[in-house]
Protein backbone atom coordinates (compact mmCIF):
# COMPACT_ATOMS: atom_id res chain seq x y z
CA UNK A 1 0.00 0.00 0.00
CA UNK A 2 1.38 3.40 -0.96
CA UNK A 3 1.77 6.27 1.48
CA UNK A 4 -0.98 8.09 -0.42
CA UNK A 5 -3.48 5.22 -0.14
CA UNK A 6 -3.20 4.84 3.64
CA UNK A 7 -4.68 8.23 4.61
CA UNK A 8 -7.58 7.65 2.22
CA UNK A 9 -8.24 4.19 3.66
CA UNK A 10 -8.09 5.62 7.18
CA UNK A 11 -10.56 8.32 6.18
CA UNK A 12 -13.04 5.83 4.72
CA UNK A 13 -12.72 3.55 7.75
CA UNK A 14 -13.35 6.45 10.11
CA UNK A 15 -16.26 7.65 7.99
CA UNK A 16 -17.95 4.23 7.98
CA UNK A 17 -17.41 3.82 11.72
CA UNK A 18 -18.98 7.17 12.60
CA UNK A 19 -22.28 6.93 14.42
CA UNK A 20 -25.14 9.41 14.66
CA UNK A 21 -27.15 10.07 17.84
CA UNK A 22 -25.99 7.01 19.77
CA UNK A 23 -27.54 8.64 22.84
CA UNK A 24 -30.88 9.01 24.58
CA UNK A 25 -32.70 11.61 22.49
CA UNK A 26 -35.18 14.18 23.77
CA UNK A 27 -38.71 14.22 22.44
CA UNK A 28 -40.35 17.18 20.79
CA UNK A 29 -44.10 17.60 20.50
CA UNK A 30 -44.71 20.32 17.87
CA UNK A 31 -48.32 20.67 19.02
CA UNK A 32 -47.05 22.37 22.16
CA UNK A 33 -44.62 24.71 20.40
CA UNK A 34 -45.01 28.45 21.08
CA UNK A 35 -46.47 30.75 18.45
CA UNK A 36 -43.19 32.66 18.06
CA UNK A 37 -40.08 30.84 16.79
CA UNK A 38 -37.73 33.01 18.88
CA UNK A 39 -39.38 31.72 22.05
CA UNK A 40 -38.83 28.12 20.93
CA UNK A 41 -35.25 28.93 20.00
CA UNK A 42 -34.64 30.26 23.51
CA UNK A 43 -36.03 27.03 24.97
CA UNK A 44 -33.94 24.81 22.72
CA UNK A 45 -30.78 26.84 23.26
CA UNK A 46 -31.02 26.60 27.06
CA UNK A 47 -31.84 22.89 26.80
CA UNK A 48 -28.78 22.25 24.61
CA UNK A 49 -26.50 24.20 26.94
CA UNK A 50 -27.77 22.31 30.00
CA UNK A 51 -27.30 19.02 28.13
CA UNK A 52 -23.60 19.81 27.79
CA UNK A 53 -23.51 20.91 24.17
CA UNK A 54 -20.13 22.67 23.66
CA UNK A 55 -20.38 26.18 22.25
CA UNK A 56 -24.12 26.16 21.56
CA UNK A 57 -23.83 29.79 20.42
CA UNK A 58 -21.76 28.88 17.36
CA UNK A 59 -23.66 28.90 14.08
CA UNK A 60 -23.11 28.71 10.34
CA UNK A 61 -23.81 31.83 8.28
CA UNK A 62 -24.48 31.29 4.58
CA UNK A 63 -24.29 34.16 2.09
CA UNK A 64 -23.79 34.53 -1.66
CA UNK A 65 -21.20 36.50 -3.58
CA UNK A 66 -21.77 38.82 -6.54
CA UNK A 67 -21.84 35.84 -8.93
CA UNK A 68 -24.43 34.04 -6.80
CA UNK A 69 -21.93 31.44 -5.52
CA UNK A 70 -22.76 30.30 -1.98
CA UNK A 71 -20.37 30.84 0.91
CA UNK A 72 -20.54 29.62 4.51
CA UNK A 73 -18.58 30.07 7.72
CA UNK A 74 -18.96 29.56 11.47
CA UNK A 75 -19.36 32.50 13.85
CA UNK A 76 -20.94 33.38 17.18
CA UNK A 77 -24.51 34.35 17.97
CA UNK A 78 -24.68 37.56 19.99
CA UNK A 79 -28.40 37.68 20.74
CA UNK A 80 -31.82 36.48 19.60
CA UNK A 81 -34.77 38.75 20.25
CA UNK A 82 -37.96 40.06 18.68
CA UNK A 83 -35.92 41.69 15.93
CA UNK A 84 -34.06 38.52 14.95
CA UNK A 85 -30.70 36.77 15.31
CA UNK A 86 -27.72 39.05 15.98
CA UNK A 87 -24.06 38.69 15.00
CA UNK A 88 -21.15 40.96 14.13
CA UNK A 89 -18.24 41.15 11.72
CA UNK A 90 -16.13 43.61 9.78
CA UNK A 91 -18.04 45.30 6.98
CA UNK A 92 -14.90 44.92 4.85
CA UNK A 93 -14.72 41.12 5.32
CA UNK A 94 -15.94 38.71 2.66
CA UNK A 95 -19.25 38.21 4.46
CA UNK A 96 -19.60 41.94 5.08
CA UNK A 97 -19.15 42.72 1.40
CA UNK A 98 -21.50 39.91 0.39
CA UNK A 99 -24.20 41.09 2.79
CA UNK A 100 -23.89 44.65 1.51
CA UNK A 101 -24.51 43.46 -2.05
CA UNK A 102 -27.02 40.69 -1.27
CA UNK A 103 -28.59 41.15 2.17
CA UNK A 104 -30.35 37.79 2.23
CA UNK A 105 -28.71 35.05 4.32
CA UNK A 106 -29.26 31.83 6.24
CA UNK A 107 -28.15 30.65 9.68
CA UNK A 108 -27.74 27.08 10.87
CA UNK A 109 -27.34 25.72 14.39
CA UNK A 110 -26.47 22.07 15.06
CA UNK A 111 -26.50 20.66 18.59
CA UNK A 112 -25.51 16.97 18.32
CA UNK A 113 -25.74 16.49 22.10
CA UNK A 114 -29.53 16.65 21.71
CA UNK A 115 -29.86 15.82 17.98
CA UNK A 116 -31.35 19.19 17.19
CA UNK A 117 -30.93 21.69 14.38
CA UNK A 118 -32.34 25.15 13.79
CA UNK A 119 -32.31 26.78 10.36
CA UNK A 120 -33.19 30.45 9.77
CA UNK A 121 -33.53 32.43 6.55
CA UNK A 122 -34.21 36.12 6.12
CA UNK A 123 -32.94 39.59 5.41
CA UNK A 124 -29.83 40.92 7.14
CA UNK A 125 -29.69 44.53 8.30
CA UNK A 126 -26.65 46.61 9.29
CA UNK A 127 -27.60 48.12 12.66
CA UNK A 128 -25.32 51.14 12.26
CA UNK A 129 -22.05 52.48 13.68
CA UNK A 130 -23.39 53.16 17.17
CA UNK A 131 -24.66 49.59 17.52
CA UNK A 132 -21.28 48.28 16.38
CA UNK A 133 -19.49 50.35 19.03
CA UNK A 134 -21.96 49.28 21.72
CA UNK A 135 -21.53 45.63 20.74
CA UNK A 136 -17.76 45.80 21.21
CA UNK A 137 -18.07 47.72 24.49
CA UNK A 138 -19.55 44.71 26.28
CA UNK A 139 -17.18 42.14 24.77
CA UNK A 140 -13.88 40.83 26.09
CA UNK A 141 -10.45 42.35 25.58
CA UNK A 142 -9.74 39.54 23.13
CA UNK A 143 -12.80 40.41 21.06
CA UNK A 144 -11.73 44.05 20.89
CA UNK A 145 -8.18 43.03 19.98
CA UNK A 146 -9.48 40.85 17.15
CA UNK A 147 -11.63 43.73 15.87
CA UNK A 148 -8.68 46.12 16.07
CA UNK A 149 -6.43 43.69 14.20
CA UNK A 150 -8.85 44.03 11.30
CA UNK A 151 -8.06 43.18 7.66
CA UNK A 152 -10.33 40.12 7.87
CA UNK A 153 -10.37 38.04 4.65
CA UNK A 154 -7.41 39.92 3.14
CA UNK A 155 -4.37 37.98 1.94
CA UNK A 156 -1.85 37.49 4.76
CA UNK A 157 1.85 37.64 4.00
CA UNK A 158 3.05 35.48 6.89
CA UNK A 159 2.08 34.20 10.33
CA UNK A 160 4.73 36.54 11.76
CA UNK A 161 2.89 39.52 10.27
CA UNK A 162 -0.31 38.39 11.99
CA UNK A 163 1.48 37.86 15.31
CA UNK A 164 2.92 41.38 15.20
CA UNK A 165 -0.40 43.01 14.32
CA UNK A 166 -2.27 40.96 16.94
CA UNK A 167 0.23 41.81 19.69
CA UNK A 168 -0.18 45.51 18.93
CA UNK A 169 -3.97 45.17 18.95
CA UNK A 170 -3.95 43.33 22.29
CA UNK A 171 -1.76 46.07 23.78
CA UNK A 172 -4.08 48.79 22.52
CA UNK A 173 -7.18 46.93 23.73
CA UNK A 174 -5.67 46.83 27.21
CA UNK A 175 -4.72 50.50 27.39
CA UNK A 176 -7.64 51.87 25.35
CA UNK A 177 -10.73 49.73 26.08
CA UNK A 178 -12.96 52.11 24.11
CA UNK A 179 -10.70 52.16 21.05
CA UNK A 180 -12.79 52.49 17.87
CA UNK A 181 -12.85 49.75 15.25
CA UNK A 182 -14.57 51.62 12.39
CA UNK A 183 -15.39 48.61 10.23
CA UNK A 184 -16.78 46.46 13.06
CA UNK A 185 -20.48 46.08 12.31
CA UNK A 186 -23.46 44.68 14.20
CA UNK A 187 -26.00 42.82 12.07
CA UNK A 188 -29.40 41.26 12.64
CA UNK A 189 -31.01 38.59 10.50
CA UNK A 190 -34.75 39.28 10.49
CA UNK A 191 -36.36 35.88 9.90
CA UNK A 192 -38.86 35.05 7.20
CA UNK A 193 -38.57 31.31 7.85
CA UNK A 194 -37.34 29.26 10.82
CA UNK A 195 -37.16 25.46 10.92
CA UNK A 196 -36.69 23.28 14.02
CA UNK A 197 -35.43 19.73 13.53
CA UNK A 198 -35.51 17.05 16.22
CA UNK A 199 -33.59 13.91 15.30
CA UNK A 200 -35.04 10.46 15.97
CA UNK A 201 -33.09 7.19 16.21
CA UNK A 202 -35.63 5.48 13.91
CA UNK A 203 -35.29 8.38 11.45
CA UNK A 204 -38.78 9.64 12.19
CA UNK A 205 -37.37 13.13 12.55
CA UNK A 206 -39.70 15.93 13.58
CA UNK A 207 -39.43 19.06 11.44
CA UNK A 208 -41.46 22.15 12.31
CA UNK A 209 -41.25 25.17 10.02
CA UNK A 210 -42.41 28.68 10.92
CA UNK A 211 -42.92 31.05 8.02
CA UNK A 212 -44.56 34.40 7.52
CA UNK A 213 -45.71 36.50 4.59
CA UNK A 214 -43.63 39.36 3.25
CA UNK A 215 -46.03 41.86 4.84
CA UNK A 216 -45.00 40.65 8.31
CA UNK A 217 -48.23 38.93 9.28
CA UNK A 218 -48.51 36.32 12.02
CA UNK A 219 -46.30 33.26 11.96
CA UNK A 220 -47.70 30.17 10.27
CA UNK A 221 -46.52 26.66 11.19
CA UNK A 222 -46.12 23.54 9.07
CA UNK A 223 -44.81 20.04 9.72
CA UNK A 224 -42.37 18.76 7.09
CA UNK A 225 -41.56 15.23 6.02
CA UNK A 226 -38.08 14.22 7.22
Quick: pLDDT tens for 121-174. Answer: 999 999 988 888 888 888 888 888 888 887 888 889 999 999 999 999 999 989
pLDDT (0 to 100) of residue 17: 93
Q: Quote the pTM value.
A: 0.89
Phi-psi region of 84 (alpha: psi -120 to 50; beta: other; left: phi over 0): left
Burial category of 150 from C-beta neighbours within 10 Å (exposed 0-12, middle 13-18, buried 19 and up): middle
Q: Could you tell me which residue, 56 or 144, shows the higher pLDDT? A: 56
Say which residues have a Cβ less than 8 Å from residue 183's Cβ, sequence separation at least 6. 90, 91, 92, 96, 150
- Distance CA(119)–CA(193), nearest Å, equals 8
Amino acid sequence: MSSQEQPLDDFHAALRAARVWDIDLPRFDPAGAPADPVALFHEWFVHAAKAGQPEPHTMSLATADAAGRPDVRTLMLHDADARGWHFASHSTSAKGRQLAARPQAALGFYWPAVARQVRIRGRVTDLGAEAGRAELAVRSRGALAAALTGRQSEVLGSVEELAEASAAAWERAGTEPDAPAPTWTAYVLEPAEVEFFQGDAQRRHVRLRYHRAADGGPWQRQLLWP
